[in-house]
Amino acid sequence: MRVLHVYAGNLFGGIEKLLLIFAEHRGLCPDLEQHFALCFEGALSKGLRRLNAPLHMLSPVRLRNPLSVYRARRGLGKLLDREHFDVIVTHACWPHAVLSKVPKRRGIPIAFCAHDAINPKLHFTEKMAARTPPDLVLSNSRYTAGTLHRLFPNVPTEIYYGPVMPPNDSDRIAVRARLRAELATPADDIVILLASRLESWKGHSLLIDALGRLRELPGWRCWLTSNAQRPKEVEYLAELQALVKRMQIQDRVRFLGDRPDVADLMLSADIHCQPNLGPEPFGRVFVEALFAGLTVVTTDIGGGSEILNGDGVQYGITVPPNDPESLALALATVMKDGSLRRQLAEQGPVRAQSLCGPRQSITRFHNLLRQRQEADDGH
């Protein structure tokens, strides 16, 4: 089966990580040949080229410029006329809105990967996307699936947890010693890590508020990885830095900027805390943290709660949303209770593997597309 992933490519976050894993581990499912089509050059296109993945660059799109939309559609059309693909996979509403009409007119099946929940009031790009129903929706969580009736009410939907790579922890002790020395962090301190994009709903301010309540508790540090990619994110970063000073914890909180070694940071930390203020559609960073054996603390909403609670087992700690006092209590509990951290560290990788182990996840992706194709052929 030949599949073409279609995406924008101008930013870098969870979807981009997913596509790079698909590209890097194409060999895990030999029956699935994966190609990639992007509108923008960026970190994703560079990564795909580094992996020698089949990459097709379209052209940059500005929705206010109809000519740019036409050019991108024309580029995709020429690609589809030149090469055969069994399924086109659009990732998120923007590329689906801009480009899905091209394969639709050629009768090529379309699978839409839903990476975000759909709000009751549709954004204009979501309204555009809704005009071209796909043949299949792959939802990244049950939470996201519960909102998709607003976009594609009559399209078959499957829950699909994308692949997440476990860290190479064979040299965990050496990595931990090196990074803690680099970041002037004592070996015995409990390190709380938040590794996410600078979006306010990710809960950076809530975490800082909770840590401010624990400033008298000795033996902890906090690392925040924060890549400010847009002007509003630069402003948000400045607000967070000011909040740290007001909470008088500036000597214990480090803003690390954009780090390419987040996997190593996870091996060097003890707790991953991303206390979302709004529901996470999925939250692959939580799976990465579980793989790394971290104690995961988050709010009891959205995909994060779904990841940490399953089969009657609690794989992390969840607290009520927007409640700094409860969050501070939870963090203090896991910081003080080494046996609890060890128990969760042992359970975490098992849970992560069951949800997002790369081989089984990529094979399931292929099987879902194949089953949909066979169902369509049967009709």
Q: Is 312 exposed, middle or buried (0-12, 13-18, 19+ CB in 10 A)?
A: exposed
DSSP 110-135: EEEEE-SPPPSS--HHHHHHHTS--S
Residue 94 has a pLDDT of 97
Q: What angle do CA 281, 76, 7 make, to 5 degrees?
A: 20
Which residues are bridge partners to 110 per DSSP? 88
- The continuous run of DSSP H or E covering 42 comes out as none
Residue 22 has a pLDDT of 97
Residue 108 has a pLDDT of 95
Percent helix, strand and coil across the chain, each rounded to 5?
A: 50, 15, 35
Residue 23 has a pLDDT of 97
Taking the C-alpha atoms of residue 230 and residue 241, their distance in angstroms, rounded to an integer, is 17
Tell which residue, 93, 88, 118, has the closest CA to residue 103.
Answer: 88
Residue 310 has a pLDDT of 80
Residue 313 has a pLDDT of 82
Tens of pLDDT, residues 77-126: 999 999 999 999 999 999 999 999 999 999 999 999 999 999 999 999 99
The single-letter code of the amino acid at 285 is V
* CA atoms within 13 Å, Cβ hemisphere of 191: 25
Residue 379 has a pLDDT of 54
Give the contacts of 198 (CB within 8 A, at least 6 positions apart): 204, 226, 227, 228, 229, 233, 236, 237, 240
Tell which residue, 310, 328, 330, 329, has the closest CA to residue 318.
Answer: 330
Residue extents of the structural domains in the chain: 2-162+358-378, 169-356
Residue 378 has a pLDDT of 61
Name residues of the chain where pLDDT drops below 50. none
Give the orientation angle of helix 284-291 with respect to helix 14-24, to 10 degrees.
60
C-alpha distance across the termini of the chain, in Å: 19
Q: Is there a contact between 281 and 117 (Cβ–Cβ < 8 Å)?
A: yes
Q: Which fold has domain 169-356?
A: Rossmann fold (3.40.50)
| Long-range contacts of 228-231, Cβ-Cβ distance < 8 Å, separation of 24 or more | 228/198, 229/11, 229/12, 229/197, 229/198
Give the CA radius of gyration of the chain: 21
Q: How many C-beta atoms surround the C-beta of residue 375 within 10 A?
A: 12
For domain 2-162+358-378, the CATH class is alpha beta
294 token code pair: 């971290």
